[in-house]
Structure 1
Amino acid sequence: MSLINKMLQDLDARSSGAAASQGGSSAVRPVTAAVRPMPRVLLILAAVAGVVIFFVAAIFAWRALTRPSPSSLIASAKAAASISAAGIAPAPAAAATPTPAASAAASATPPAAPVGMQAPATEPAPKQLVAGPSPEAKQVPVGAVSAEPSAKAGLAEKRRAGPALRASPAPARSAIAEKDEARLRSDAGLNKAQQAENEYRRGLSAMQEGRVHDAIARFEQALAHNPRHEAARQTLVGLLIENQHSDEAMQHMQQALALDPAQAQMAMLLARLQMERNGPAIDTLQRTLPHAAANADFRAFLAGALQREQRHAEATEHYQAALRLQAGNSVWWMGLGLSLQALKRNAEARVAFNEAKTSGRLPPELQTFVERKLQQLPN
């Protein structure tokens, strides 16, 4: 209210200042408007509001009067504690008389032992008096009475936990699972070749985005649909080698050659990895040789592998076959000269080294190496 009063004082000060500047008297005030009678509708609304306020106040007063006092609650708690300690269960105010069938069933049912306690086998379980309408007192086992509150407490606990469990939200689905489901839906109805092509394209997209593991998985899935998808196989092998997974790459190449041994490039790549590990590179190449006899690169590669194993006679044959297909390769002339020199065929070796030297296509270090070999050959 202080802020409102301050605003009113400011307005009064402004009004007084304006009147003084106009030469008028500061005591002049605006004429009060004539008092109009209150409309009938407003009277009715005010009466209804009063009735509502009256009923609300009556409800709050009734709750306050019927609420138990703290002293009565404390007394009830003390009484319950004393009854529990004495082992006597309080009887209800209006207990129904048990029927003979119910009494017989109760006597036939063995009492349940309380949690953490077990009565001795040789002594009968202690009995507990229950007040009833009949003059004769009936006995019930202590265990049956003490187990009932714990059962009720467990039931109440389950009832409290039930809504919370039902209200707990389901775990959010991952984006990967949603993408997989969308992929499966998009591939529904397609044959294996079409599914393989779709997976191959997804692998290319993942590889371009830098998701290498996802790309590898997509290419492997493409090969699962179509093992003869050469583009997926070659791209997968390249990714595996680039990421230092040579063993897996070799397995994929062996599978590819088992399906189609005519893949000369795949055979040469597998043989190169096998040579680094002293593996059966020559066997790999020779299985593909019937399908690559007219491939100059393949024949020269096989010649180099044979030369590495000191099998110079076979290496000479394959170098010569490669040079018949592509005579201008100076490196192959040099390789042929080395195998001829190892076989003591010096004249033929000199011709081969001269061909390599005069071609002018050798790197400087190899050019020097060939010149030194020529000097070492006997005339």
Structure 2
Amino acid sequence: MSLINKMLQDLDARGTPDGRGDAGGIRSVPERERGVSRVLVFGGAAGLTAVAIALGWVYLKRPAVPPVLVSVASTPPAAAPVPAPVSAPAPAAAPVVSPAPAPVAAAPLAPEPVLQAGETVASAKMRDAEIRRITGKPARPAEAPVAKVAVRAAAPAASERIIDGKQVTPQQRVENEYRRALAQLQDGRVAEALLGLQQTLQLDPRHQGARETLVRLLLEAQRPDEAARQLQLSLALDPKQPAQAMMLARLQLDKANGGAAALDTLTRSLPYAADNGEYHAFLAGVLQREQRYREASEHYQQALQAAPDNSVWWMGLGIALQADNHPAQARQAFERARGLQTLSPQLQAFVERKLVQLAAAR
């Protein structure tokens, strides 16, 4: 009977906010009533049990109050921010969960509330909820705030630089230097333009626009050795530049015994000039200068396949064939050159003399 009394007292205490029982409601059975008949005792016990079950059912059906999260962090309580007091009780709103941009580690489960003597987990949760509703403060210290991940602006990559507050890629920096050099050249500041073009090539040695402009300025400034060095650097990086190879070969031919160097330059870029008549004719002239007449005649013939009406190249073919002891073929080449009527008067006279020589040799 004392166990039933204790259960009823607990239920009565939970039913009121201040923890006092209702004087007009259910009360405990006094000790002096033990002498009542057994039928009344058992009947009363059954009734009380039914009432207890009904009250328990009512309380179990009440809306569940979200559990209060208790901090399990190891930081001291003083470091945790004190929550602002709530002016009026308000129903707890369901938290809105926003989709996280990246998967994060699962938060630890909230610990169960601290139980007092004779309490169950459910009753302790309801007790804490009642204290929070009445006082506006949690029954225990608030949970330490979860550390927020600071989102910083991405630092510029190692390949980028910040100029005037803007991130500039290496390619953009090269183009900026090149445009600045061209602007200086347009303003007549040739010395500054030369330095700007050299700076552009230090950033990007394969920048052909800067290389060709620099070579042209060096040639205009009567600095052929520096121009040749720039062309050699360019062709070493990329031999697929027939025009630069021809320019370098001309500079090399201006030097004493420069024919071998010019031939080496032209030969290395020859695979990338198979259909270039100008290239073949220029190479043929260098070979003829080096007295390699058979090879010269072959390249003249390849050049004439691209431009069959070039009278100068026909004249060059005639010279190479005559030197290689092919007089009949040489005469045909000279006659074709004379018949096109596009030679200058000096060259036209030269061809006439060659035809006279070949006719006398027959």
**Superposition TM-score tier, normalisation by shorter sequence:** 0.5 to 0.7
Q: How does 1:65-76 map to 2 (within 5 A)?
A: none
* Residue identity matched to 1:267: A
Alignment match, 1:241 = 219
Aligned partner of 1:370 among 341, 346, 351? 351
Please give the alpha-carbon distance, in whole angstroms, between the structure 1 residues aligned to 2:192 and 2:245. Answer: 27
- Contact kept? 2:197, 2:211, Cα under 8 Å: yes
Question: Which of 277, 282, 285 does residue 304 from structure 1 map onto?
Answer: 285
Structure 1 unaligned regions, length at least 5: 1-182
Cα distance in structure 2, aligned partners of 1:353 and 1:272? 26
Query: How far did 1:219 drift?
Result: 0.7
Pick aligned residue for 1:291 from 264, 269, 272: 272
Judge conservation of contact 2:178–2:210 (CA < 8 Å) in 1. Answer: yes
Structure 2 matches for 1:116-135, cutoff 5 A?
A: none
Partner Cα separation in structure 2 for residue 264 and residue 369 of structure 1: 31
Between the aligned partners of 1:186 and 1:200, the Cα distance in structure 2 is 18
Change (3 A) 1:184 1:316: farther
Compare relative contact order (CA 8 Å, sep 6+) and give the higher one, 1 or 2.
2
Q: Distance in 1 between matches of 2:281 and 2:207?
A: 28
Is residue 2:296 matched to residue 1:318?
A: no
Decide which of 322, 329, 351 is 1:341's aligned counterpart: 322
**Corresponding letter in the other structure for 2:175:** E
Which ranges of 4 or more aligned residues in structure 1 deviate by more than 2 Å?
183-189
Matched AA of 1:298: Y
Deviation at 1:295, TM superposition (A): 0.7
TM-score where L is the length of structure 1: 0.50
SS at match of 2:285: helix
The sequence identity of aligned pairs, in percent, is 54
* Cα contact 1:187–1:195 (8 A) shared by 2: no
Alpha-carbon distance in 1 for matches of 2:225, 2:234: 14
Shift of 1:299: 0.6
Q: Structure 1 counterpart of 2:320, which letter?
A: S
- Work out the CA distance in 2 between the residues paired with 1:256 and 1:221: 15
Q: 1:285 to 1:258 in 2, by over 3 A?
A: same
Residue in 2 aligned with 1:264? Answer: 242
Structure 2 residue ranges without an equivalent (≥5): 1-160
Change beyond 3 A, Cα 1:346–1:298: same
- Cα deviation for residue 259 of structure 1 reads 0.9
Residue aligning to 1:220: 198
Equivalent-residue separation in structure 1 for 2:226 and 2:277 (angstroms): 29
Deviations 1:170-201 (A, max 9, x none): xxxxxxxxxxxxx9835963222221111111
Compute the TM-score of the two structures, normalised by the length of structure 2.
0.53
RMSD: 1.6
Which of 217, 240, 250 is equivalent to 2:228? 250
Aligned length: 197
Summarize deviations over 1:46-98 as a string: whole Å, max 9, x none: xxxxxxxxxxxxxxxxxxxxxxxxxxxxxxxxxxxxxxxxxxxxxxxxxxxxx
In structure 1, give the amino acid aligned to 2:353.
R
| Alpha-carbon distance in structure 2 between the residues aligned to 1:184 and 1:365 | 63
* 1:204-262 Cα distance to aligned partner (Å, 9 max, x none): 11111111111111111111111111111101000001101111111110111011101
Tell me the distance in 2 between the aligned counterparts of 1:311 and 1:356: 22
Q: Residue 228 of structure 1: SS of its match in structure 2?
A: coil
Q: What is the identity, as a one-letter code, of the residue corresponding to 1:253?
A: L
| Structure 1 or 2: more helix by fraction | 1
Distance apart, 1:344 and its partner CA:
1.2
